[in-house]
Amino acid sequence: MGREEYRKALKLGKKDYQTRLLHGEKPILQVLDDILPDRSSYSEAPIGLVQIPLEQIAGTKTFARSSSFAGNYMPILREDTEFAAKWENLLDSQMEEGIREPVKAYEYMHKFYVSEGNKRVSVMKYSGAVSILGNVTRIIPKKTQEKDNRMYYEFLDFYRFAPINYIWFTQEGGYAKLQEAVGKKPEERWTEEELMEFSSVYARFTSEFREKGGNKLNITPGDAFLAFITLYGYETIDQKTTSEMQKLIAKSWEEFVLLGQESEIDLKMKPNQKKKSLFGILHLHVPGTRTLKIAFIYEKTPGSSAWTYAHELGRLHLQQTFPEEVHTMRYENATLDNIDSLLSDAVEAGCDLIFTTTPPFAQASVKAAIANPRVRILNCSLNTSHRYIRTYYSRMYEAKFLMGAIAGAMADNNRLTYIADYPIYGSIANINAFALGAKMMNPRAEVYLEWSTKKDMDIEKRIREIGSSCVSGKDMAIPEEASRFFGIYHITEGRPRNFAMPLWHWGKFYERLIWAIMDGTWKYDDDPSVKKAINYWWGMSEGVVDVVFSKYLPTGLKRLAGLLKTSISTEAFDPFAGIIHSQAGAVVNTPDRNLPPEEIMTMDWLAENVIGTIPPREELKEQAEPVIKQQGVKKKEG
């Protein structure tokens, strides 16, 4: 039996050897000594006996045995050699009683290199084993700013609390997200029971993921698993049977495909220009045909939230524009605890289209979309990477630039206050656009940035301390709050005088989207050959953002602001064009360059005339947690 099995292994080894040669790769095992940096650049730390994942064993410590194996660890020496005989004996032992003697290996940057026991590794790999017991010494490189090095140190930090060596990621932050996804606090230790349970869940997922073709994707099983449990919940996945998990993986497959894309998001800056024939448009709705049923899910009520009120105005606009074609319904006071049931209720009510109007509901929206593929679901958020839903947002930074220009012109003492709520995608662009607009009109203008969601923040007190001439407050008033502290305002004798107010004209967006669905152009936004998430990000040119001027704005400035608004609306002027300086230096240092939309969307810096910082998560109130978790701006390295 041993000789026949060796021939099979030899055949596998030769095939791998030839394949690697044809692709210009090294055909034999990697050698750790060949890739290690200078001895002064790393340290060694024994970590004892551990189960080594066989798929992470990359080669040998020294060159001596590397040429006996192909790159897949299958033998390549003739079957009449002493090596072959020993290999066959080891296989017999493995089949009869298992290989018990641990190998000796070095771990370096998530890979293992064997110093004693290469034939044992080869036999175990041939036998289809998952891991092998080994006495491991860890080689720890010095810290650098290289991405792989930073990610490895994230793994080392994680390993102190959860000694798991079989999961790794392609992007930074994966281990911290995993710790959170399984319900553990930062630096909270895992119990032995928790480690065993995780190993079981991960092994079941990995098996099904690879069976489905996961090895062909440009992600690791760890990437896919993290996305999976983030979407459905770790405890929920833990309770799934193998069959249930298999079906859920299949339904969620495009989410995994998306993770492997170089650019995950397809930003739609304008509505699709493809048009149906006039005949087709005139016959969109025929009396007696089925009405499009639409649900809007709000986090708060229109009376208590300006954000919800803006979306409710959009819903009412939709009803007025399509009185016969659509029927709308709304759900209020949605939370992370009840969003799943509200989505289910909307689906059971026969809704064809559902809008979830706040970023924290994105994950629940994806789950509902996967479970109900006939229902279109859109979430109001920016820079969200999901294939089963589409997301939408407005380029409010265009309006904020105009608001900043007005505030800069009206600032008597060159001091402005900008009140922001959450440091999320889009909000940083709003702040910087405001600051750039103010500087354009008043080179001495300084913008004091205050966050209303910071712990122990007293906004009114801070405004008094700063002594600003103008304040940029909440975007609009709400019915239940008879306050004038919104838009751009100047405080005189304790009372605000409003100069301008930005508008989120969601009705225009919803109207255009419904037209796209009814005339069939909705499908043109999705290119089936490119697996990307579709994010709609429309602005002034599409009519979804505007600025309203008050009677208190001086006539000359009102005319100038009107010209600037027209220039932005017609795309003759770009707020983020030309030389731009941040607090840390030049962001754009050429006068003819415009910041691309992707850079505007993911800004993690503040303009040079902004006095303030982007607060970390721990400085914010508890209410900020859900939205920051979903949409919080991430500091880019470099």
Dihedral of the alpha carbons of 164, 170, 174, 175, in degrees to the nearest 10:
20
pLDDT in tens, 232-267: 999 999 999 999 999 999 999 999 988 887 667 888
Amino acid letter for position 560: L
- Using the predicted structure, report yes or no on whether residue 296 has a pLDDT greater than 70: yes
pLDDT of residue 273: 67
pLDDT, mean over the chain: 91
* CATH C-level class of 396-503+541-631: alpha beta
Lowest mean pLDDT among 2-11, 268-277, 534-543: 268-277
- Establish whether domains 1-142 and 396-503+541-631 are of one fold: no
**Per-residue confidence band for 280, with pLDDT thresholds at 50, 70 and 90:** very low
pLDDT at residue number 262: 66
Residue 386 is predicted with a pLDDT of 87
Residue 289 has pLDDT above 70, yes or no: no
Q: How many CB atoms lie within 10 A of CB 395?
A: 26
**Short-list 188, 186, 201, CA closest to 238:** 201
What is the mean predicted confidence (pLDDT) over 72-78? Answer: 95
Contact (Cβ atoms closer than 8 angstroms) between residue 366 and residue 360:
no
585-606 burial string, b = 16+ CB within 10 Å, else e? eebbeeeeeebebeebbbbebb
Q: Tens digits of per-residue pLDDT, 189-213?
A: 999 999 999 999 999 999 999 999 9
What is the third-level CATH fold of 1-142? 3.90.1530
**Domain 268-394+508-515 is of which CATH architecture?**
3-Layer(aba) Sandwich (3.40)
Q: Average pLDDT of 372-400?
A: 93
- More confident site: 192 or 492: 192
* Domain limits, the chain: 1-142, 145-260, 268-394+508-515, 396-503+541-631
pLDDT in the model for residue 529: 66
Q: Scanning the structure block, which residue is given the tokens 């003819």? A: 592
